[in-house]
Amino acid sequence: MDRCAQTKENTEFTSAQYEAIYPEGIEHHYWTKSRNWIIAKAIKKYDVKGKILEIGCGKGLVVEYLNKNGFDCSGVELADVPVSPSLQDKILTGKDVKDLSSDYCDAFSTILLLDVIEHIADPVSFLRNLKTKFKNLKTIVLTAPARQELFSNYDEFNGHYRRYDWHMLRSLAAETNIRVIYQSYFFHALYLPARLILWLFGKRKLYMTAPSGIAKWIHTAIAWFMYFDALLLPKKLGGTSLIAVMKI
């Protein structure tokens, strides 16, 4: 749910979209918590080193989590969105990635594209431009909403061009001469409920609701379930999201 793509092709989130997906306290939601854990696990497992830049970091939920857990992560966000005081020196807001200085870009060896490429009309050109812009880039960690059969009013509301599947992501990497070293669906347990909701109602809820009180504990329990869902179930088993680690 991070606000994403750093181009001028209608990718900047409106205030209505931010209010829908970034309500106060959304960091306690099971989706946010488990996704943070899954991303951090992939970074650790594949020994990603050096400084990390999240392109399209939104309010900095992932940036904050990774820095609290020993990673050196910064962020850049196209929209002029408020971030917490603790992230002021880590996040550039209201900034298009193509306008970043060479000195700034050269400091990073890893880029995070977390739910970004679905907002890009031409993801091949986007990735090629990143490879040119970031001279020391070695690794891309990418997540995307998965399975086009789940495309809904939620995707339209958030400006998605498409949802990705296993082969689409592989093809995208091949076209940009990037090597995929790890790929997996995750949120497997959400796939059938998502299909059922669309079959019954033809649409899904647009707004995220942040948990409070005892609901935070419930969401933490669900987050652990989703985390082990990602670790233990087959990588190619359909899920509502995809993750990949790619080497340049």
Q: For 18-75, give the secondary structure using H, E and C.
A: HHHHCCCCHHHCHHHHHHHHHHHHHHHHCCCCCEEEEECCCCCHHHHHHHHCCCCEEE
Q: What rounded mean pLDDT belongs to the chain?
A: 92
- Whole-prediction pTM: 0.92
Alpha-carbon distance of 177 to 163, in angstroms, equals 21
- pLDDT score of 82: 82
- pLDDT score of 3: 38
- pLDDT score of 83: 85
**79-86 contacts, C-beta under 8 A, 24 or more apart:** 79/3, 79/12, 79/13, 79/18, 81/3, 81/13, 81/18, 83/59, 84/59, 84/60
Q: 163 and 123 in contact (C-beta within 8 Å)?
A: no
Q: What one-character DSSP code corresponds to residue 234?
A: -
- pLDDT score of 7: 39
119-134 pLDDT tens trace: 999 999 999 999 999 9
- Residue spans of the chain under pLDDT 50: 1-9
155-191 pLDDT tens trace: 999 999 999 999 999 999 999 999 999 999 999 999 9
